Structure 1
Amino acid sequence: MMRRAVPLLALLAAGCTVGPNFLRPTPRTPEGWTRASLDAPAYARSRAVAAEIDRSWWTSFRDPTLTWLVTSAESGNPDIEEASARIAETREQRSIALAGFWPTLDAQASDTRLRISRNSPFAALAGGSPSAGGQPNPTQGAAIPTGPKPTLSIYQAGFDAAWELDIFGRTRRGVEAAGADLLSAERLLDNARLSLRAEAARAYLELRGLQARREVALQSVRLQRDTLGLTRSRAQSGFATEVDVANAEAQLASTEATLPQLEAQVTQAMNRLARLLGQDPGALSDRLTARAPQPPVPEVVAIGLPLDTVRRRPDVASAEAALAAQTARIGVATAQLYPSIRINGTLGLQSGNTANLFTAASRFFSIGPSLMIPLFEGGRLRAQVRLEEARQRTAAIAWRRTVLDALHEVENALAAYYGEQGRRAALMRQARAAQSAAALARQRFTAGLGTFLEVLDAERTRLNAQLALAQSAALVSTDLVAVYKALGGGWEPNPPHG
């Protein structure tokens, strides 16, 4: 009999797996990027090509400080640590799901004091008998026992074991869902790393842009102080008026007023970088205070193909894993509709006193299967299946939206990159012309051929043009960072953890 039972139990344990199997979705992507993205405008110094993306894109700026910041950002960033902690949570959830494959074993011991009713037929177990002497019961006609009180002690120690056969795959689907949740959490960690690298590069490039604008303002202050001195000298000689002197003083004060704001923005940018690296405010001041030129963008930016971008981006991979997990949960809910078989067993010692508890005669055991068939749950189980199916449809929509957003993000980032290059080209022409106009107006005023208002207007135009050019140069660089981030940053995800 036992030989026949073993193969039967193995067959039942193998069972079948109910619910839909996950089929990896195929993203619908165009064969290539739009012509607007690949056919760069004539003014663009940097253009995109459909070649394999540079996985270490930050090195294309050729700035050692930028490379150090990007590669060091992960070491102490609290957002990365939080995402890593969430992976630990999902890994333990998977371990809990895996435990469902194994039987449970519990050790138990008890000391029970039991008093049995004297009118019970089991009173004899305590040394008395309802028919052994005593007065008859006037209501039932039965004798009331007059022997010892029907009270006894039961001492028991042993082991309880139980094993639920995974006939319809409820445990297997649960493990499948937990594994997909773990993969989704890992891809979210990859996405956090990608975002951190892009944010560190962006913050650094913004810092260099602010330092460039501060330098323009400082140079303007020095030049305007010279102009103020010249105007005062000409006013003393009768070749300028007190109005000209007042205008020169007002222009100088206006430019000086921009310096404290720029200084505060520079400090905030350095603190933002320190925060990204998980360091205290001011920790990077010694390394970043010295002004450095704005890192130039590369002439060619490799962006690959749309399908490559979708497969590379960790947020798309995370959404796909979430869809797989939700598909598996449909199987978990469906398995609840089917019968479940549980093998229960108990082995131990039982006695009415401790003297002979550990003797062979006190041994006992029980083993056998139990069957549970859900008959009526008020519609709860089928509603749970429909709920998980609805959640799966929602997860599928979220995945498609993530894919679509990824494609649009790349195209929009490239449009912004090209557009800012065009703006920078125009601002460079404006800055050169404004510089020449300011120098000419100053020469004419010095020679007595022009008015101070000409100098004032020319100087104001020159300052605004140079400030705008410095800001645009930084925006071109940060827009390129946005392009790399939209492309998935050349991210190569780590293999899934077990």
Structure 2
Amino acid sequence: MRAHLRRVGAISAMLWLSGCVSGPDYRVPATAMAVAPDAQGRFASSRAPTYTQAEPPDHWWQLYQDAQLEAYVAEALRANTDLRAADANLRRASAVVLEHQAQGTLRTDTAASGTLAHAGGYTLPSGSLPQAYALGITLSYPLDLAGGIRRGIEAASADAEAVAAARDHVRVTVAAAVTRAYVGACAANQTLAATQRVLSTQRDTLDATRRLAAGGRGTEFDVTRASAAVNRSAAAVPQLIAERQRAVAQLGALMGRVPSHYPQEVSACARPPRLDRPLPVGNGWQLIQRRPDIRAAERSLAAATATIGVETAELYPQVNLGASAGIANAPRHLLASESVGASVGPLLSWRWPNRRAVKARIAAANARAEAALASFDGAVVQALQQTDTALSTYSQALDREASLARAREDAAHASAQAGQLYRFGRIGFIDVLSAEAALADAESALASSQAQLIDRQVDLFLALGGGWSPSGPGDDAEAEAAQRAP
């Protein structure tokens, strides 16, 4: 037994002198995808003049210079219900950090007791007191020689930072969703205006056809076909109004508004905001630092690594530095000097762990860390793939819009020429209807393409991870939790 105690004392002395903290110290592994030079360089699809290598701003929607859009995003970032839940999750995670930190502070325990004995059916033991009272206080401070508490704080802090990154991801998603909804409402208005322009032209054609038929230069068949074209275009109007209202409703929900307070003023938006200058996209290293999902994965890896130390500390004794004081005696002698007692000294606690079980938990913690590293690498690879795809898709969308704009101009010119030629009897009525149908298709395709172009811009900014900033709501959650703590 003495030999065992000497061994325990030697272990404790070595831990104390070396300042040992169990488990590995965390650092980003040298094999991680995030530190690979190929992952940190320029994006493969960013060499077109469409892009610049400047780092994108946090509040990328301000590039559109649309005050209404900026106001909607700001309101959503304050009131969105998903974001409120994410802020609450961050406050909870910050409170868990405080809980782990409290495990390494001074602990106080008090105890009081009273004994009342009466001689009757039982005989009092020799020397016992009929009435005795005791009051004591014990102070203990964990020395944390194996560093289990410190590793626990590291793990909890890393988990809280992962939750903060998840909250930032919600901010990114909310900002993108608000922009999409706003653009959707404006695009519906733009398409509606284009449809009404075509409809106006078709109605003019219908009126002219009726006059020609009345004067003997046309047929009732021509009138019927012209009327059918008008009705076909008019049928698209209710659908466009419904699309606009759906976008307005989505926008209101993102801002936490009830249906009676949806932002109906957006219905007056004539066209989507445009961004005609090259987009700032930065490089891979900036992307890795900025993407919330990558930061969350890296912090989860840090937490998993710290957990290895928490489990390893279970192999070593738990030592507390303690002191106690108290008084105990009969009531009339309670304040006498012989009633007072005190003690100071280390309190060694060792649960005599099942080493096989502890080592199994250490192996499980190591496996969790390996899985976390794989997830970290996967997040980097996915982010780079999403960004490269978004860059390529946006470039192609620009080319498509340019072609559709030229097609729309040609269709409008052809429709005007067809109307003149028909009035002079140079072409048949079917040619007029075909030219007007081609104009309607070109107007619709161009309006849809312009909306999709901004949607591709949002995809790109979403892939780049913009939309959060250190000064955003909820970032001071840990400090707030600390202030509320007693």
Q: TM-score range by the shorter chain?
A: 0.7 to 0.9
Correspondent of 2:36 among 9, 18, 28: 28
Question: Secondary structure of 1:292's match?
Answer: coil
Question: Partners in 1 of 2:400 and 2:370 — Cα distance?
Answer: 44
Question: Partners in 2 of 1:154 and 1:253 — Cα distance?
Answer: 102
Correspondent of 1:191 among 166, 169, 177: 169
**Residue type of the alignment partner of 2:26:** F
Correspondent of 2:436 among 459, 465, 490: 459
In the other structure, the counterpart of 2:9 is none
Using the TM superposition, name which of 282-291 and 165-174 deviates more: 282-291
**Residue type of the alignment partner of 1:39:** A
In the other structure, the counterpart of 1:212 is 190
Correspondent of 2:229 among 242, 246, 251: 251
Asked if residue 94 in structure 1 is aligned to residue 101 in structure 2, the reply is no
In the other structure, the counterpart of 1:136 is none
Alpha-carbon displacement from aligned partner over 1:69-124 (angstroms, at most 9, x marks no partner): 334431212222222111211111111111111232122233456899x999x843
Q: Residues 190 and 493 of structure 1 are in contact (CA less than 8 Å); yes or no, is this contact kept in structure 2?
A: no
Q: Residues 91 and 182 of structure 1 are in contact (CA less than 8 Å); yes or no, is this contact kept in structure 2?
A: yes
Q: TM-score, normalised by structure 1?
A: 0.82
Question: Partners in 2 of 1:480 and 1:15 — Cα distance?
Answer: 53
Question: Secondary structure of 2:35's match?
Answer: coil
Question: Secondary structure of 1:107's match?
Answer: strand
Question: Secondary structure of 2:46's match?
Answer: helix
Displacement after TM superposition at 1:282 (Å): 5.4
In the other structure, the counterpart of 1:473 is 450
Displacement after TM superposition at 1:156 (Å): 3.1
Question: Partners in 2 of 1:493 and 1:402 — Cα distance?
Answer: 22
Asked if residue 182 in structure 1 is aligned to residue 190 in structure 2, the reply is no
Q: Residues 350 and 362 of structure 1 are in contact (CA less than 8 Å); yes or no, is this contact kept in structure 2?
A: yes
Alpha-carbon displacement from aligned partner over 1:364-420 (angstroms, at most 9, x marks no partner): 445554434454527321111111111111111111111111211211111110111
Asked if residue 18 in structure 1 is aligned to residue 22 in structure 2, the reply is yes
Question: Secondary structure of 1:293's match?
Answer: coil
Structure 1 gaps, min length 5: 1-7, 41-46, 128-151
Displacement after TM superposition at 1:354 (Å): 4.8
Alpha-carbon displacement from aligned partner over 1:414-457 (angstroms, at most 9, x marks no partner): 11101111111221122122222222333333334433322222
Alpha-carbon displacement from aligned partner over 1:314-333 (angstroms, at most 9, x marks no partner): 32222212211111111011
**Residue type of the alignment partner of 1:53:** P
Question: Partners in 1 of 2:360 and 2:261 — Cα distance?
Answer: 56
Trace 1:176-325 onto structure 2 (pairs within 5 A).
Answer: 176-281=154-259, 283=261, 285-325=263-303
In the other structure, the counterpart of 1:66 is 69
Q: CA RMSD in A?
A: 3.1
Q: TM-score, normalised by structure 2?
A: 0.84
Question: Secondary structure of 2:235's match?
Answer: helix
Choose between structure 1 and 2: higher helix proportion: 2
Question: Secondary structure of 1:124's match?
Answer: coil
Alpha-carbon displacement from aligned partner over 1:456-483 (angstroms, at most 9, x marks no partner): 2222221111111011111112212222
Asked if residue 52 in structure 1 is aligned to residue 55 in structure 2, the reply is yes
Question: Partners in 2 of 1:379 and 1:157 — Cα distance?
Answer: 42
Displacement after TM superposition at 1:12 (Å): 3.9
Using the TM superposition, name which of 162-171 and 444-453 deviates more: 444-453
Counting aligned pairs with the same residue, the percent is: 30
Question: Partners in 1 of 2:342 and 2:193 — Cα distance?
Answer: 88
Question: Secondary structure of 1:264's match?
Answer: helix
Question: Partners in 1 of 2:115 and 2:165 — Cα distance?
Answer: 55
In the other structure, the counterpart of 1:79 is 82
Go from structure 1 to structure 2 and tell me whether the alpha carbon gap of 1:229 and 1:346 turns closer, same or farther (over 3 Å shift).
same
Task: Choose 1 or 2 for highest CA Rg.
Answer: 1
Q: Residues 111 and 137 of structure 2 are in contact (CA less than 8 Å); yes or no, is this contact kept in structure 1?
A: yes
Question: Secondary structure of 1:37's match?
Answer: coil
Correspondent of 1:421 among 398, 402, 418: 398
* Aligned residue pairs, count: 459
Question: Partners in 1 of 2:115 and 2:394 — Cα distance?
Answer: 80
Q: Residues 314 and 353 of structure 2 are in contact (CA less than 8 Å); yes or no, is this contact kept in structure 1?
A: no
Question: Partners in 1 of 2:28 and 2:435 — Cα distance?
Answer: 64
**Residue type of the alignment partner of 1:456:** L
Question: Partners in 1 of 2:459 and 2:51 — Cα distance?
Answer: 13
Displacement after TM superposition at 1:349 (Å): 3.2
Q: Residues 13 and 165 of structure 1 are in contact (CA less than 8 Å); yes or no, is this contact kept in structure 2?
A: no
Using the TM superposition, name which of 400-409 and 432-441 deviates more: 432-441
Question: Partners in 1 of 2:224 and 2:212 — Cα distance?
Answer: 13
